[in-house]
Amino acid sequence: MPGSVAVTGATGFIGGALVRALIKAGWRVRALTRRPRPDDESTQWIEGDLDNPEALRNLVKDVFAVVHCAGRVRGRSLEDFVHTNVEGTRNLMRASIQQDSPPRFLFISSLAARQPQLSWYAKSKHIAEQLLIDQSHIMPCTVFRPTAVYGPGDKEMSPLFRATRHGILPMVGQASMRFGLLHVNDLIAAIFCWLSTNVSIKGVYELDDGRPGGYDCRSVALIAQQVWKRQVHCVFLPAQLISLIANINLWSARLLGYSPMLTPGKVRELRHENWVCDITPLTQALPHWQPRIQLNDALSQAI
The answer to whether 91 and 48 are in contact (CB under 8 A) is no
Predicted TM-score of the model (pTM): 0.96
Torsion sign, CA atoms 202, 203, 207, 212: negative
Burial label for 247, CB within 10 Å (0-12, 13-18, 19+), is middle
Which tens digit of pLDDT belongs to each residue from 165-220? Answer: 999 999 998 899 999 999 999 999 999 999 999 988 999 999 999 999 999 999 99
Torsion sign, CA atoms 157, 160, 163, 167: negative
Task: Give the percent of the chain with pLDDT over 70.
Answer: 100
The answer to whether 10 and 31 are in contact (CB under 8 A) is yes
The answer to whether 279 and 291 are in contact (CB under 8 A) is yes
Phi-psi label, residue 252: left if phi above 0, alpha if psi -120 to 50, beta otherwise: alpha
Torsion angle (degrees, nearest 10) of CA 65, 114, 147, 87: 40
Q: Which of 19, 1, 2, 21 lies closest to 10, judged by CA?
A: 19
Residue 1 has a pLDDT of 47
Q: Taking residues 131-148, report their average pLDDT.
A: 95
Q: Phi and psi at residue 215, in whole multiples of 5°?
A: -115, 160
Q: What integer best gives the mean pLDDT of the chain?
A: 96
Buried b (16+ CB within 10 A) or exposed e, 31-58: bbeeeeeeeeeebbbbebbbebeebbbb
Alpha-carbon distance of 288 to 8, in angstroms, equals: 25
Q: Taking residues 72-100, report their average pLDDT.
A: 97
Q: Taking residues 110-129, report their average pLDDT.
A: 98
Residue 162 has pLDDT above 70, yes or no: yes
Which tens digit of pLDDT belongs to each residue from 258-293? Answer: 999 999 999 999 999 999 999 999 999 999 999 999
Query: 4-151+181-208+277-292 sits in which CATH class?
Result: alpha beta
Alpha-carbon distance of 180 to 211, in angstroms, equals: 8
Residue 199 has a pLDDT of 87
